[in-house]
A = this chain, B = another copy of it.
Amino acid sequence: MSKMKVTILGCGSALPTEKHFNSSQVLNIGEKLFMIDCGEGAQIRLRQLKIKTSKLNHIFISHLHGDHCFGLIGFISTLGMLGRKENLYIYAHADLEKILQPQIDYFCQEMPYRVIFNHINPRANEVIFEDRTIRVTTIPLKHAIPTCGFLFEEKEKERHLIREKINFFKVPVRQLHLLKKGADFVCPDGKIIPNSQLTKAGEPAKKYAYCSDTAYFEKVIPIIQGADCLFHEATFTEKETIRAKETFHSTAKQAAEIALKAQVKKLLIGHYSARYRNYETILAEAKSVFEDTFATEDGNIFEI
């Protein structure tokens, strides 16, 4: 059974609070780790949560507001001190490299690994990362500066062989990988055994969507349609709907409307304004629209 889970390193918004650091998450897909945003203190949360960084090779930055990237220089510096050798890939707006590289050059001399910047276009919906099993796509969002979310998708998984049928039809070993991909089997006598008799469906490929920071923006709906889990910012309660619009943020209810319309399976909310001391109202407002909503807290882990 493949596993996907997300750990919340920080669920606060612009101002960190006593309990909530700035935005950062780590998505674990079959033990490959992907960091999403990197607010101040992200490395401290990683340490507190005992998350190993050896499998963390890719960092995705939604936009260049400080609360989403001020933790990068400290984290990069620490990885160097810990002796990291593998490249670290950062996917972000081109400006990040201009701002961060001089800091790396100054503070991280003799660093034993390389930081490689991949410039992304936050206005496009396109694939920015892909390997054998995973694909990451940008989700254009509506914010005060160029911003995108990220859709993490597992690629379609191989079908499972039904061992007794394989043996019965004497399928040669060298053909098994084709069957796993869905091919039928042609017997030596020309008879065709349909794939459905030889295999069972693999686990469903999972999808995690991250949408922060953004105003209510329906254009994300087709992109995140049917996601197993959506993280959507919910900076404000209904009472602050006007302020949400002015600042290009969402209310909890708006986050839930996006979840509902996109028919996602689960909604995580966060990026709460520092004005709120507890999240009962925010959560209740979201749940009134979309029942399967969870209010994140720093350190929470959600199975997807």
Contacts and interface: CB of A to CB of B under 8 A. Distances in A.
Q: How large is the interface on A (under 10, 10 to 19, 20 to 34, 35 or more residues)?
A: 20 to 34
Contact of A71 (B18, B40, B47, B106): B40
Interface in A91-115: 95, 99, 102-103, 106-108
Given A41-B40, A99-B103, A107-B64, A48 B18 contact: yes
A14 interface: yes
Interface in A23-71: 40-41, 43-44, 47-48, 64-66, 70-71
A40 B66 CA distance: 13
- Copies of this chain: 2
A74 interface: yes
A77 interface: yes
Given A14-B81, A40-B44, A73-B66, A106 B102 contact: no
Contacts of A241: none
A16 B44 contact: yes
A195 interface: no
Interface in A102-148: 102-103, 106-108
Contacts of A47: 16-18
Interface of A: 14-18, 21-22, 40-41, 43-44, 47-48, 64-66, 70-71, 73-74, 77-78, 81-82, 95, 99, 102-103, 106-108
